Amino acid sequence: MSRCLRYQKPIICEHLANQYVAGALTHGVRARVETLRQTTPELDRAIAKIADRFADIHWRLPSAPLSPSDSNDLWDSIDAQLVTTPIPPEAEPATVQSGFWSSVLAWKLTTGLSMAMSVLLAIFLVTTPAISPVEPNLVAHTAQGPHYLATMSAHNDTDKAIQFVISAYGKQADKPSRLHLQWSKQHLNDEAQTRLHLWAEDRDTGKLSYIGLQPPKEQSWDLTKTNWNAVSNSGRLLMTNSNAVPTEANTVFSGICLQLNAWKQAESV
C-alpha cells in the first residue's frame, strides 16, 4: 500500500532512481515510479540528478548520421502521428507558472483521487447492505474500518472510472484477515459474472503475488498470513480472468491501494 514517507528516505530514493534511469525496472514498476515521482519531490529530485549525470554522457557522444532528406522524412512521419494520436487529458497545458505547473497538476490529481476515494468509502460505509448470516464477522470488521482500500477500474479504461472497491481487514482476535469486494451503485450491472483471480503487485519490487480466486459471494474471502502480507505490501491490485500471470490481455481490473489505518504487526495473521 502507498506509504509516501518510505520514498522520502534518501537510500530508497537513490536506489530506485538508479534502477529507473538504468531502465532496469519492469514496465509496471516503472509506471509506479513515474506516478510516485509526481507526488514525492525527494524521489523526483533523485531521478533528475542521476538522469542528468548520464545525459551528459549522451550529449558528448557522437550524434547519429542523419541526412537532411532522411531528417525531413522522419519529421514528416512524426508530424503525421501527432495529428492522428489524441492527446491524453493530463497532457493539456496547466495554467500555472513555469516550473510549477506539473507539480500543481499532480497535486490536483492526487487531491481529486483522495476526495473520490473518501466519497466512495463514505458510500461504502453508509450503504453497506444488511449482512447475510454467512458474514457475521464483517459487522465487527466494518465497525473497525478497513486497513486498506483499493479502488478498482477496468484495466483498459483510460479514465479509470472506479467500479468497485476492495477493502482489506486485518486479523481480529477471533477473526482472520479478509477481503471484501463491493461494487459502486453506478456499476452494479457491470459486476463480473465469473469469478476473477486476484494478484498483488509489490510496491517496491513489482513482484506479483497470487492471492487467489475470488470466492463465491456467499463466502468470505479469508487471507493467509502470506497473502495478507502481500496485500499490505502492495501498491496495486489486479484481477485477471485466469490464473496466469497478469498481462495486458488477461487483466480485467486494476487499481492502486491506500493504507487507511495504522497497521500494527501484532495484528497480522
Which residue stretch of 52-60, 169-177, 200-208, 210-218 sits at the interface with another protein (rule: CB under 8 A)?
52-60
Any contact of residue 173 with another protein (CB under 8 A)? no
Indicate the residue among 32 and 171 with the shorter CB distance to another protein.
32
Minimum distance from residue 90 beta carbon to another protein (Å): 6
Nearest to 121 by CA among 164, 90, 67, 178: 164
Site for another protein in 104-143 (CB under 8 A): 105-106
d(CA 259, CA 145): 11
DSSP 3-state percent helix, strand, coil across the chain (nearest 5): 45, 20, 35
> From the list 91, 143, 173, 262, which residue makes contact with another protein (rule: CB under 8 A)?
91
Any contact of residue 247 with another protein (CB under 8 A)? no
Which residue stretch of 58-66, 117-125, 138-146, 260-268 sits at the interface with another protein (rule: CB under 8 A)?
58-66
- Strand residue runs (E) in 29-170: 148-154, 162-169
d(CA 220, CA 162): 22
Which residue stretch of 76-84, 128-136, 155-163, 179-187 sits at the interface with another protein (rule: CB under 8 A)?
76-84
Any contact of residue 4 with another protein (CB under 8 A)? no
CA distances from 213 to 133, 135, 137, 208, 239 (A): 22, 18, 21, 15, 9
Q: Are the C-beta atoms of residues 165 and 120 closer than 8 Å to each other?
A: yes
> From the list 5, 69, 85, 129, which residue makes contact with another protein (rule: CB under 8 A)?
85
Indicate the residue among 27 and 264 with the shorter CB distance to another protein.
27
Nearest to 41 by CA among 52, 29, 49: 49
Task: Sheet containing 208-213: give its strands across.
Answer: 208-213, 197-202, 234-240, 251-259, 148-154, 162-169, 178-183, 221-222
Minimum distance from residue 93 beta carbon to another protein (Å): 5
Nearest to 258 by CA among 203, 194, 191: 203
x/- site string to another protein, residues 6 to 45, per CB under 8 A?
------------x-xxxxx--x--x---x--xx--x--xx
Which residues contact another protein by CB under 8 A? 18, 20-24, 27, 30, 34, 37-38, 41, 44-45, 47-49, 51-66, 71, 74-75, 77-79, 81-82, 85, 87-88, 90-94, 98-103, 105-106
